[in-house]
C-alpha cells in the first residue's frame, strides 16, 4: 500500500504526541488495524478449496475471493488523501475500521459466491485506506525524535501479517469452518476502534472541502472492474468466443483510454499520471508491478496445488507458505541499510534474480515431493524479498521531487496491488489451460494402459476403480506439469523485472519518505 497517501495539508500543524501508557496502547491499536487489513490479503489463500467446496463452485472461481479484495483495496488507496482532508484523518480511520468489521461479518455469513465476492469488494474498499492512515497516525502519536519507532512498528506489521495469514487460514479452515477466517476480524476491529476513538480523537486533523475528481474515479473503477471481471470469468465463457467477454474487453479498453486522457488533463486528478514523466519512477514501478504479479501468482497457486494435487491439508500448506517471511523479516534492516551504501539497482537486481532462481527451484517439484523440498524455496525466497520491495520503493520515491512523493507512493501502491490481482487471475486460468494440454499429451503417451488396468484388477480393484485410479494418476501429473510451467513463466517475468531496473537512472540521493 501507499507509504503515505495523505497530502501535507491534511495534517494539522504540530500535533501533541502521546506519552507513556497512552502512547503504547494507541500504537498497539494502530499497528493491529494495519495488521488485520494486510492479513486479509493472504488469509483466504489456503482456504480457497474449503470456500469453493462450501459454496459448491470450482477452485478457480474460489480465487475471486482473493482478487476481488485486492482490486477493491487498490482502488480505494488513491482516495485516502481526499477522504482524510474532507472528513478528518481520525474520523475516516474510524469509519474505515468499522466498515471493515461489518463487511468481514457479512463475508462470513455469505452462502453464495456472488454474495461473498460482493462483500469482499466492500471489505477491500473499507480496508484500503487503513494502511496509509495507520502509518500517518503512528507518525503523529510519536515524538518527532522517535518517529522512526512508529514507522518500524508499521513496517513490522505489514511484513509479518502476510506470513501469519496462511497459517491462520489453514488452521481455521481445517479445525473450524472457513467463515471464521472473516469472523476473527471482529474482536480485532473492536479493540482497534475503541483504542483509536478513546486516545486519538484529540489528534483529529483539520477538515477542508477538497474537490474530488469524480469522473476520473468513475473511469478508474469501470476500467479496472471490467478488466478484472474479464480475467476472472474468461475461462468459463470461452474467452473471446463469448460476446460477454468481448463486451468487457471493449468497456475496459475504452474506459482506460478515457481515464488516461482525463487524468493527464485534469487539474486535480485522482491518480497523478504525470509522475510517469520521471524515468526512474516509471521503470521502478514497472519492475515492482511485474515482480509482485509473478510473486503473488505463486503465493496463490502453490496452496491450491498443494491441497488439490499433492494431498496436503490447509494447515500443513499454511506452515509451508509461511516460511516466506522468515528471512524477509530478518533481512529488511540489511536491505534498508545497503540502499545508501551501494548502487541500489545492484541490490534490487540481485534480489529479483534470486526470486527468479527460486521459481526455477520450484519447477523441480513433483506430486510426491516431501515437506522440506517444498519449504526450502519458500525459506530461501525470503532472502530476495526485502531487496526487491525495500529497494524498489526507495528507487521509485527517490526519482521524484519531495512534493510529489505522496502521489508517487499511492500510484505505485495501486499498480502493485492491481498487478498482484491480475497475476492471480492470469495464473489460475493459465494453470487450467496448461493442465488440460498436459493431460491430452499424457493420455496419448500412456504406455500400455490395458496392462495397467489388468494389473490393478488382479490386485482386487473393479474395472471402474482401476479406470478411476489411472485417471487420477493422469490428472495429478497433468496438474503438476501445469503448475511447474507457470513457475518457470514466473521466473521469466522476474528476469524481465530485473532487467527493467537498469533503465532507471541511479538516484543522486536516496529517500524513503512518502512526502510526510
3-state SS, one letter per residue, for 126-151? HHCCHHHHHHHHHHHHCCHHHHHHHH
Question: Cα separation of 332 and 474, whole Å?
Answer: 43
Report d(CA 259, CA 255) in Å as an integer.
Answer: 6
Q: Which position has the higher pLDDT, 134 or 250?
A: 250
Is the per-residue pLDDT at 364 higher than 80? Answer: yes
Helix (H) or strand (E) holding 446: none
Per-residue pLDDT averaged across 135-158, rounded?
70
Looking at the predicted structure, is the pLDDT value of residue 8 above 50?
no
Query: What pLDDT was estimated at residue 399?
Result: 87
The pLDDT, as a whole number, for residue 511 is 53
How would residue 516 be classed by pLDDT, with cut points 50, 70 and 90?
very low
* Whole-structure pTM value: 0.76
Q: What is the pLDDT of residue 10?
A: 45
Give the pLDDT confidence score for residue 122 in this predicted structure: 93
Q: Hey, which of 320-324, 353-357, 410-414 has the most confident mean pLDDT?
A: 353-357
Task: Give the model confidence (pLDDT) of 420-474 as tens digits.
Answer: 878 887 888 888 888 888 777 776 666 666 666 677 667 767 767 777 777 777 7
- From first CA to last CA, the distance across the chain in angstroms is 15
Q: Region 404-425: what's the mean pLDDT?
A: 78
Q: pLDDT tens digit string along 324-357? A: 878 877 887 787 778 778 888 999 999 999 999 9
* pLDDT score recorded for residue 14: 52
Instruction: Measure the CA dihedral 395/400/401/407, to 10°.
Output: -110
User: Between 284 and 80, where is the model more confident?
Assistant: 284
Distance of CA 420 to the CA centre of its chain: 5
- Rounded to the nearest integer, the mean pLDDT of the chain is 81
Mean of pLDDT values over 472-479: 79
pLDDT-above-90 percentage for the chain: 21
Q: Answer yes or no: are the C-beta atoms of 22 and 199 closer than 8 Å.
A: yes
Task: Band the pLDDT of 147: cuts 50, 70, 90.
Answer: low
Of 95, 71, 125, 78, the residue nearest 189 (C-alpha): 95
Check whether 396 has a pLDDT greater than 50.
Answer: yes
Q: Is the pLDDT of residue 3 over 60?
A: no
What is the C-alpha to C-alpha distance for residues 260 and 251, in angstroms, rounded to an integer? 14
pLDDT in tens, 203-235: 777 777 767 788 988 998 899 888 878 877 777
Q: What is the pLDDT of residue 278?
A: 92
pLDDT digits 0-9 by tens, 235-281: 777 778 889 899 999 999 999 999 999 989 988 887 888 889 999 99
Coil vs helix vs strand at 213: coil
Amino acid at each position: 500500500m501507499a507509504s503515505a497517501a495523505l497530502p501535507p495539508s491534511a495534517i494539522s500543524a504540530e500535533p501533541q504526541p502521546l506519552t507513556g501508557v497512552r502512547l503504547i496502547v494507541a500504537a498497539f491499536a494502530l499497528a493491529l488495524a494495519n495488521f488485520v487489513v494486510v492479513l486479509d490479503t493472504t488469509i483466504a489463500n489456503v482456504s480457497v478449496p474449503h470456500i469453493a467446496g462450501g459454496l459448491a463452485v470450482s477452485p478457480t472461481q474460489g480465487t475471486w475471493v482473493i482478487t476481488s479484495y485486492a482490486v477493491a483495496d487498490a482502488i480505494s488507496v488513491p482516495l485516502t488523501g481526499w477522504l482524510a482532508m474532507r472528513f478528518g484523518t481520525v474520523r475516516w480511520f474510524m469509519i474505515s475500521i468499522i466498515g471493515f468489521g461489518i463487511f468481514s461479518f457479512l463475508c462470513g455469513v455469505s452462502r453464495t459466491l456472488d454474495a461473498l465476492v460482493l462483500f469482499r469488494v466492500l471489505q477491500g474498499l473499507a480496508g484500503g485506506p487503513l494502511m496509509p492512515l495507520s502509518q500517518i497516525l503512528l507518525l503523529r502519536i510519536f515524538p518527532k525524535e522517535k518517529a522512526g519507532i512508529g514507522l518500524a512498528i508499521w513496517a513490522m506489521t505489514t511484513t509479518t501479517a502476510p506470513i501469519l495469514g496462511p497459517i491462520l487460514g489453514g488452521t481455521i479452515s481445517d479445525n473450524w469452518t472457513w467463515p471464521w477466517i472473516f469472523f476473527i476480524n471482529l474482536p480485532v476491529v473492536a479493540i482497534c476502534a475503541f483504542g483509536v476513538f478513546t486516545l486519538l480523537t484529540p489528534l483529529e486533523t483539520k477538515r477542508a472541502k477538497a474537490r474530488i475528481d469524480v469522473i476520473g474515479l468513475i473511469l478508474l473503477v469501470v476500467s479496472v472492474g471490467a478488466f478484472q471481471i474479464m480475467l476472472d470469468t474468461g475461462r468459463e465463457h470461452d474467452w473471446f468466443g463469448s460476446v460477454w467477454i468481448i463486451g468487457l474487453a471493449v468497456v475496459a479498453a475504452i474506459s482506460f483510454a478515457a481515464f488516461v486522457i482525463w487524468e493527464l488533463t485534469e487539474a486535480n486528478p485522482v491518480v497523478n499520471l504525470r509522475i510517469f514523466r520521471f524515468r526512474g519512477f516509471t521503470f521502478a514501478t514497472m519492475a515492482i508491478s511485474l515482480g509482485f504479479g509473478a510473486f503473488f501468482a505463486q503465493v496463490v497457486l502453490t496452496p491450491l496445488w498443494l491441497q488439490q494435487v499433492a494431498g496436503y491439508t490447509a494447515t500443513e500448506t499454511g506452515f509451508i507458505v509461511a516460511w516466506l517471511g522468515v528471512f524477509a523479516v530478518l533481512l529488511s534492516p540489511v536491505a534498508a541499510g545497503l540502499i545508501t551504501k551501494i548502487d541500489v539497482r545492484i541490490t534490487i537486481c540481485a534480489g529479483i534474480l534470486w526470486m527468479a532462481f527460486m521459481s526455477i527451484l520450484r519447477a523441480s517439484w513433483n506430486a510426491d515431493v516431501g515437506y522440506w523440498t517444498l519449504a526450502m524455496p519458500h525459506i530461501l525466497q525470503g532472502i530476495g524479498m526485502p531487496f526487491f520491495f525495500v529497494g524498489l520503493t526507495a528507487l521509485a520515491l527517490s526519482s521524484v521531487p519531495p512534493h510529489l512523493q505522496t502521489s508517487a507512493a499511492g500510484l505505485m501502491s495501486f499498480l502493485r496491488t492491481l498487478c498482484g490481482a491480475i497475476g492471480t487471475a492470469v495464473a489460475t486460468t493459465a494453470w487450467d489451460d496448461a493442465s488440460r494440454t498436459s493431460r491430452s499429451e499424457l493420455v496419448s503417451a500412456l504406455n500400455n494402459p490395458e496392462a495397467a488396468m489388468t494389473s490393478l484388477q488382479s490386485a482386487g480393484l473393479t474395472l471402474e476403480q482401476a479406470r478411476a485410479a489411472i485417471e487420477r494418476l493422469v490428472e495429478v501429473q497433468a496438474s503438476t506439469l501445469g503448475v511447474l510451467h507457470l513457475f518457470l513463466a514466473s521466473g521469466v517475468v522476474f528476469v524481465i523485472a530485473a532487467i527493467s531496473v537498469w533503465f532507471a537512472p541511479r538516484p543522486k540521493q536516496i529517500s524513503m519518505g512518502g512526502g510526510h
